[in-house]
């Protein structure tokens, strides 16, 4: 069993505009950069090894949080939002209220045109968790909201058709336990990173 701490990257200009980023690769905004500089890791995570999504916003966040080596892990990449990338949910809901409501009600099986479902994100993350289950030390992974939500779904049975069972604020990290086979368990409430 391995302890895993999921940290969502700091804010980008697209986050601030509430645009769906998916695989787009903007860096941190000035506000996001300052925000990450204010974060502090819980003391019992100081000796962890580090992983990051390959996307720039996650790599920049990791570089601001640690001087340790950070391995790039493709399975930590954000959900592919397909044709919805760069749009806001408000725009999409206004253009097609019935279609978006039906799609969003599908929870884990929500799928943007040409994109990936949260269930698919959860499945690739489960494979990563299985690989990490025998790691000799705790792991900190800098990733994206879609991946953090997938981890929460796997750990709690949340179907994403309702509000999450745990509030996931942007300046909090999600602590999980990785068991053999990729089974995940919450290791406590989300951990505040901001002072």
- Contact residues for 85 (Cβ-Cβ < 8 A; gap 6+): 20, 21, 22, 23, 24, 112, 115
Catalytic one among 35, 78, 85, 116?
A: 78
Question: Residues of 167-178 as b/e, b for ≥16 C-beta within 10 angstroms?
Answer: ebebbbbbbbbb
Give just the sign of the alpha carbon dihedral 14, 15, 17, 19.
positive
| Tokens at 46, concatenated | 């100081």
Residue given tokens 């053999």 in the structure block: 180
Is 78 part of the annotated catalytic residue set?
A: yes
Is 85 part of the annotated catalytic residue set?
A: no
- Contact residues for 192 (Cβ-Cβ < 8 A; gap 6+): 171, 172
Rounded to 5°, the CA angle 138-142-143 comes to: 125
- Active-site residue list: 9, 78
């Amino acid at each position: 069993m391995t302890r895993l701490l999921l940290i969502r990257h700091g804010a980008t200009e697209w986050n601030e505009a509430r645009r769906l980023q998916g695989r787009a690769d903007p860096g941190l905004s000035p506000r996001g950069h300052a925000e990450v500089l204010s974060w502090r890791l819980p003391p019992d995570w100081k000796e962890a090894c580090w992983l990051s999504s390959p996307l720039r916003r996650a790599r920049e966040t990791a570089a601001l949080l640690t001087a340790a080596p950070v391995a790039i892990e493709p399975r930590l990449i954000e959900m592919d939002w397909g044709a919805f990338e760069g749009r806001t949910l408000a725009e999409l809901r206004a253009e097609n209220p019935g279609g978006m409501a039906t799609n969003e009600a599908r929870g884990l099986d929500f799928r943007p045109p040409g994109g990936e479902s949260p269930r698919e994100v959860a499945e690739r993350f489960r494979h990563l968790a299985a690989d990490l289950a025998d790691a000799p030390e705790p792991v900190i992974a800098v990733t994206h909201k879609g991946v953090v939500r997938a981890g929460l779904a796997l750990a709690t049975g949340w179907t994403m058709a309702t509000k999450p069972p745990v509030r996931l604020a942007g300046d909090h990290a999600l602590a999980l336990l990785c068991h053999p086979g990729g089974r995940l368990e919450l290791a406590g409430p989300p951990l505040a990173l901001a002072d």
